[in-house]
Structure 1
Amino acid sequence: MSYSLLYVDPDESTQTETAATLSDSLADLDPDISTAVSLAEATEALTVDLSVLITEYDLPDGTGFELIKKAQDVCPDAACILYTDADVSQLNTDDLHGAITEYVGKHSVFGDNRLTDLVRTSLTTTPHTDYPKPQTEAERLTALRSYALDDPKLVGSLDRITDLAAAHFEVEIASVNIIDDRSQEFLACHGAAEEWESMHREDSICTFTIVEDADVMTVADVAEDPRFASRSGSLIDMGIRSYMGASLVTASGLPIGTLCVYDNEVRSFSADDEAYLKDLATTAMNLIDAYARTPAMTDDGGAQ
């Protein structure tokens, strides 16, 4: 298994020494250790597969807390360790919601040993995924599982939504998808998507869509996007060179899936395109809500 570490410290002398200590002490795990000296540089270095983030609190252009908040969006499964000279008792951690794994005093007794032990424990006991998760992951999974999504009438209605999306954007493939804890399921499909089977979440583009604040995401070229470049070949084989997806958002603001259109050519999408797809996704979610909340009816129109 590959382990990726990012160590952020504006004191380059301490940074070099600590990075060398980590490399030597964790040699059996063969970690890939990157370093940065500022919030901006560290933000650029964040990746979805980051295993451990170690940061000083005081950075020249911000704070370690700001960096940890950014890491929650990009690599929410990464362990975050504050390795600092700052007085932790004077820091306000209310907004971090338990995101920090541990605090270590940089110059405390056995500080280096404690840091190494924490990193080793984080690498060997914490499960990591190759995709981001919403901060409301547990709540959204509970919401998802409250719906009965196997009603043929619901699927038929959603099929019409995918037909409309495909026609409007002049693409051959569209789908309504459900993002479960480990997989993406195709609930309603147009075109070649009808032949697709469920896929692992780490292979899904849509798992990135549901963490977008705007509830819509576009990818002009999967081969050029660093999140998907490594698996762009398989995506292109499926007819996905460009992508636009809008989240299916419950009344409580929880994203349970997506409505997507796919093009086999490189393509950009306008703000109007995004707004239209988002409106269609809202309609799809309204249909899911309606079918989930409407009692089963008898043939004569009466409720059972």
Structure 2
Amino acid sequence: MTGGTVLCVDEEGSVADTATVVDDETEFEPLTRTTAAGAREAIRDHPVVCVVTEYSLPDGSGLEVVEALREHAPQTPCVLFTDARPGEIDTDSFEELIVEYLDRTLPSAGEELAFVVDDLVAHSAQVGFLAPDDEASRLAALAEYEVDELPITESFERITDLIADHFDIEVAFVGLIEEDEENFLACTGADWDSLTREDTICTHSMLQEDVMVVEDARTDDRFSSNEQLLNLGIQFYAGANVTTPDGHVIGQVCALDDEPRQLSEPERERLQKYADTVTEILELRQSLRDARTATAEVEP
């Protein structure tokens, strides 16, 4: 049993050396790819705890690999392990990417790579959760809905009932992601009120633009050691963003099951439509409440 998978991306003649360092000097298992395209495919298909990539690849650059990783799994650390000097690396198109740089020509490069990978993965595991870049404004947008004052529970319960029936799954819920926890406004198939953000897959899902699907949490390195998820019996997860008109992700609409599942593209689109309906209900209820408040203020 390893501590997870490290994706090693390098040219054909060098990738085996990088993989050997990971295999021999760390607790992780290497997965190798020799092109940027192959690395992007591996990122989509395999849960990884870290990516180690050369800058110069036959069909692109290592920063393209990092960009793909950030889109798919923003919390996963990455190391640019290269003989390219910092001044030779074109960062103009990748200004917001955060990546560790390590010179592979150093005499102790292998030892340093093993140390850096171990340290990055350990630090990543210690972080409770990653917040989106707009966290402050996102929380302000959520607060504006005054959810406790809105008559939305029955509407959301109908939505979760529909999701559970349509997808034939064990649990469906509508959750709003507060500062430290996710509060469930409606939940079909389970009696859940809230979970801390570090225990929810939604913490990861909210960072992705598209519907996030975890076919089997037990085999996904990001969640396989999450005791709370194991205790709740969650294996399959699909989550769609509840997004305000201003673009702030304030919650999730999710489908869960206690066995591995897959979700087709039409099914993903359907789940997102349910999430969009949640936003529409919130907007409508808040508008009606604001109108009533305005009317009450002008009445004698």
TM-score by length of structure 2 reads: 0.69
1:15 is matched with: 15
Unaligned runs of 5+ residues in structure 2 are none
Displacement after TM superposition at 1:53 (Å)? 1.4
Report the Cα distance in structure 2 between the residues aligned to 1:138 and 1:97, rounded to whole angstroms. 20
Q: CA deviation at 1:260?
A: 4.5
* 1:34 aligns to 2:31 (yes or no): yes
1:48, 1:149 → 2: CA distance? 40
8 Å CA contact 1:48, 1:75 repeated in 2: no
**Corresponding residue of 1:283:** 280
Match of residue 253 from structure 1: 247
Rounded Cα–Cα distance in structure 2 between residues aligned with 1:120 and 1:41 = 24
Equivalent residue number for residue 89 of structure 2: 91
Aligned to 1:142: 139
Letter in 2 for 1:251: P
Q: Displacement, 1:65? A: 0.8
User: Could you say which residue in structure 1 is the equivalent of 2:158?
Assistant: 163
Asked if 1 retains the 8 angstrom alpha-carbon contact of 2:139 and 2:179, the reply is no
| Structure 1 residue 74, shift from structure 2 partner | 2.7
Q: How does 1:1-304 map to 2 (within 5 A)?
A: 2-12=3-13, 14-24=14-24, 26-27=25-26, 30-46=27-43, 50-108=48-106, 110-127=108-125, 135-136=132-133, 138-139=135-136, 142-143=139-140, 146-147=143-144, 149=146, 151=148, 153-154=149-150, 156-163=151-158, 166=161, 170=165, 174-180=172-178, 183-189=181-187, 191-193=188-190, 195-199=191-195, 201=197, 204=200, 206-207=202-203, 209-214=205-210, 216=211, 222=215, 246-260=240-254, 269=266, 273=270, 276-287=273-284, 290=287, 294=290, 297=293, 301-302=296-297
In 2, Cα distance between equivalents of 1:271 and 1:116: 38
1:84 is displaced (CA, Å) by 1.6
SS at match of 1:302: helix
State the shift of 1:255 in Å. Answer: 0.7
- Unpaired segments of 5 or more residues in structure 1? none
Mean alpha-carbon deviation: is it higher for 159-168 or for 57-66? 159-168
What is the rounded CA distance, in whole Å, between the counterparts of 1:19 and 1:302 in structure 2?
Answer: 69
| Structure 2: distance between partners of 1:205 and 1:35 | 27
Supply the distance in 2 between the matched residues of 1:278 and 1:204 (Cα, whole angstroms). 17
Number of equivalences: 288
8 A contact 2:78–2:99 mirrored in 1: yes
* Secondary structure in 2 matching 1:248: strand
Is this contact kept in 2: 1:77–1:128, CA < 8 A?
A: no
TM-score, normalised by the number of residues in structure 1: 0.68
Please, what is the CA RMSD of the aligned residues?
4.6
Identity %: 26
> Matched residues in 1 for 2:273 and 2:285: separation?
19
